[in-house]
Structure 1
Amino acid sequence: MKIDDWWAGQGSERYWMEITNRGDLGGDLLAPQANPDGKPIWHYTLVQYTAPGDIVFHWHKSWAGTPAIVGWSEVVGPLSADAMEWQAQGTVGRARGHTDVLPNWVMPLGGFTEFERPVTTPMLNPHFDDVMSKVSGKKYGPFIPYQPGVLRATQAYLTKFPSSLVPRITSLAKSTVPTPPDDRKQDNKSRGTKGGQGRLADPVLRKAIENYAVDAAIQHYKAIGATDVEILGKPYDLKLTLHGQERHIEVKGTTVDGAVRVVLTIGEVNHALEWPRTDLFVLDGIEYKHQVASGYKLTGGTSRVWVDWQPAEAGLHPTEFSYDLPDVN
């Protein structure tokens, strides 16, 4: 969906507010990419507009015993896609009586810091006019008028927090927050369309995406004359003959549109470095719907191929380590 990113080009506008009742506060920003009908929702879409170094205030409904801004975290990144079960919110959503497995955005956070004094609504209300003057005319703001002279948090998940409001909050909280640098590592126009492959929490969906991408790769190579196609899985996905030569294919599938990152195992990397005729086939932008009877229905996807692919060391980032346990004293 189209977002009115009024803050674009304003280097100081690097603040957000999460409104939640999660117990794992400060771990990440986590939101479905769309509702069960496939329609994007603005306060979920905003997760894609955050960037490493941004500051996220946390409005928690019960952390301090009453709704309040209880602290802040820093966006660490990178943005990735995942999937999990979601219970629809609101009276109608809860009345449906079941959850939906939906694709979601995950933006890691770090450095969660609690305020010395949580900022509650009664603390904000005496500053009603000042707060409203700073949020009025700016879309996706953190507060709205509830009654004359009374504020309430916007009924949303992630909101845009105007930088001009930060001093008021830190003064009331008797705390400080870092001032992010005036540069953002990612252009707003590209944010939200490019992310990492991520690791899907649902193993059934993960396997469905893998198989769908492999099928797409087979169709691609057969269309350009490949024969003797064999599905292996490890340490690479496909072995085939193309133009009289044996070629190995590493296949990756993801729901992220325009993915800029995929997950590789050490075995996949080593094989690509050892076998000169290895291609990397990536199918991104895969769409899916959960079907109770048959699991998932997958559609769409855009393919890209890196011929004679050699993983560049600069593009590899460790995601886990093997650790040799020392002797117990």
Structure 2
Amino acid sequence: MNRRTVLKASAWSVPVVAVATMAPAAAATNGFDLRLLGFAGETLAKFNDDKTRYVEQSYTTGTALATVGTAAAPAGTVVTVSFDNRLIGAVTLHVEDVEVNAATTSPSGTTTTQTFVLTQAVPVAVDELSGLRVRFGPQFVDDWDALPFYEDIAPYTVSVSPASGADPDTSNNGWSAAAVYGDAFDGAVSATWGETVIDVEGNPTVARHPETATLVSRGPGAIPAGARLYFGLPEDGVTAFSVSSVTVDGDAVTDLFGALQPELYGGYHVETTREVAAGSTVVLTLSTTFAASATTYPGTPSVSLTTGPGETDTTNNNVSPA
């Protein structure tokens, strides 16, 4: 599996894990506070060979480097990057579109650490995304699909430190992402359909709609919390839609889904609040009310499922009436 998710800067505005750089206890505090913010990057995911496990790993590819307060940082700021050398051979660094050569490259086991020394001063931040534009370029040793599946991928980490002295606040000096592992899973969707006759421009027209939606958790792992079921309905003519009841393996439940949410262009969705165990069958009974007439002909309804990167088969995630 190769699922690449490009993440917008806003989605990365808070580091996954704050990285505090170490400084000697006796070091004098500088008059500036280095800050990395506005992270952008991507998340890559893959399965093991028998598709029973998956891993996803995030990599930051860009950020803004500035100082907080009123004082800029002089030249000499050190950027440090560490990564799993079984996956990545090296990381390139560009600052304001100018490549910076690595000052040191230090492998240790499966982790390699590179340092880069900046020749320009680091400006004072004007807003959350201002500062020097810093781009990281992870150079993978092979295509992501061709890389082996490892259960112990080393974290991908970037951080900054002053040329000398101590940074007064190291909590905003970096970002780190550990690999996320889980059991692979598969959700399969089916539905039954109802028919309601409505008037469209004087013509009696059949409007179809889902009466029940069934979600089967096919394993080997559980469908995680946060999975969404979407109900595609006509934009025009539907006056009410609701989930009348939910059962799991025949037992009525009320806590599996959050509140029904409308979609921008017609339809609704619900989101699971907890896992759906492997082997379980979830049935939703649905109610749709139509107006007596509509100005446009109803389209084809649908029920679809979206989950996370650990789903082994997405071809069974969407159904519509024949």
Structures share a fold, TM > 0.5?
no
Question: 1 or 2, which has the higher strand percentage?
Answer: 2
Greater helix share, 1 or 2? 1
Highest relative contact order (Cα 8 Å, sep 6+), 1 or 2?
2
Q: TM-score, normalised by structure 1?
A: 0.23
TM-score between the two structures when normalised by the length of structure 2 = 0.24
